[in-house]
Amino acid sequence: MVKRELKGNLLSPLPVVLVGAMVKKRPNYLVIGYISPFDFGRYIFFSLYKKRYTSVGIHENKTFSVNVPSESLLAKTNICGTKSGRDFDKGSLFDTFFGDLKTAPMIRECPINVECEVTEILDYDPNEGIIGRVVKSYVNPECLTDEKLDMRKVRPIIWATGGDFNYYRLGERISQDGGEQDADSN
């Protein structure tokens, strides 16, 4: 088989998330398309252009939230991705709530919310890598099947980061037992 070289990162697709931070005492939300859990989900990493308005709040409070919007929030997600919090109150688009961390605003309309505490900020000018420890995760009860998260019910917005850079919806499940294996046995 002959392979063809393509430029860019082809680890795709990824869920679109709205990262939340308190900036100047107001909730602000930023669209992030490249985000990754690691250390078996205990930490989350994402990259951020240093000049983003949300960066101010992350540095000031050392907290942030990760909110997974469903397809029904596509229009509001697009607004968060095209307007700056410097010029537009993105917090006004959503019903904000707080968990244990009082400076990590979360979006009630998003089926999944994760509050994080910053553990490290990596500098690689003009961007920075934000690493956060997961403090607590929340889910809408209607997104559970047998008390487990069912991503089909979440209906996340999926972004093709290494392809045509468009949004997609999650496909059908192809294996019933994929998540039952013990991670330490791999």
Mean pLDDT of the chain: 91
The partner residues of 136 in beta bridges, in order of sequence, read 115
For 89, 150, 183, the CA distances from 156, given in Å and listed in that order, are 24, 11, 24
Helix (H) or strand (E) holding 123: strand 112-124
Structural fold of domain 16-144? Pnp Oxidase; Chain A (2.30.110)
HEC secondary structure over 52-113: CHHHHHHHHHCEEEEEECEHHHHHHHHHHHHCCCCCCCHHHHCCEECCCCCCCCEECCCCEE
Q: Does 177 score more than 50 pLDDT?
A: yes
| Per-residue pLDDT tens over the stretch 16-29 | 999 999 999 999 99
As a whole number of angstroms, the distance between CA 13 and CA 39 comes to: 20
Per-residue pLDDT, averaged over 128-144, amounts to 98
Q: Comparing 129 with 166, which gets the higher pLDDT?
A: 129
Cα torsion 69, 87, 24, 96: sign: negative
- Mean pLDDT calculated for residue range 159-186: 71
More confident residue, 86 or 168: 86
